Amino acid sequence: MVFFLALQTCLLLVRSGAALADSVQSKEPQVSGVEGGSVTFSCSYNTTDFSGVYLYWYRQSPNRAPQHILRRGTKVYAAYSENADFAQERFSSQAAENSTVLNITALELADTAVYLCALQRAQ
């Protein structure tokens, strides 16, 4: 069975006065996979915060609120990473200087959703 997953991007600014130069951009707007297979989503980001940021992945199924998948810290915050309970086995993420990826393995029909990546300044 083939199913489609879509990636949208959003930006989270949690502090008033945060620089508006921070941005997140998806690299591929739609990804397809087969049950039991795997997919990878990619987001690039720009920030003026040189000490590091938190990168988040969420998914939103039809008629549902976004569901937190995981968080990855970058640079000095690299040790501050966590996965939601349901995402411990099949979901993983890596963060590079200006990009992040989300890997999903052993795809299930329930993984069909809009996937969102977001950035938060770690300060």
pLDDT in tens, 1-36: 444 455 554 433 334 344 456 777 777 778 888 899
Tell me the C-alpha distance between 111 and 89, whole Å.
14
Whether residue 11 contacts residue 58, with contact meaning beta carbons closer than 8 Å, is answered with: no
To 10 degrees, the CA torsion angle through 74, 10, 104, 3?
Answer: -170
Are 123 and 49 contacting, i.e. CB atoms less than 8 angstroms apart?
yes
Domain ranges of the chain: 2-121
User: Is CATH 2.60.40.10 the classification given to domain 2-121?
Assistant: yes
What is the Cα–Cα distance from 101 to 12, expressed in whole angstroms?
18
Q: What tens digit of pLDDT does each residue of 72-85 get?
A: 998 888 888 999 99
**Residue 72 Cα distances to 82, 105, 121, angstroms:** 7, 18, 12
Q: What is the pLDDT of residues 45-81, one digit of tens each?
A: 888 887 888 999 999 988 999 999 999 998 888 888 9
CA dihedral 92, 28, 118, 21 (to 10 degrees): 140
Judging by DSSP bridges, how do beta strands 82-83 and 91-95 pair with one another? Answer: unpaired
Average of per-residue pLDDT values in the chain: 82
Q: What percent of the chain has pLDDT over 70?
A: 82
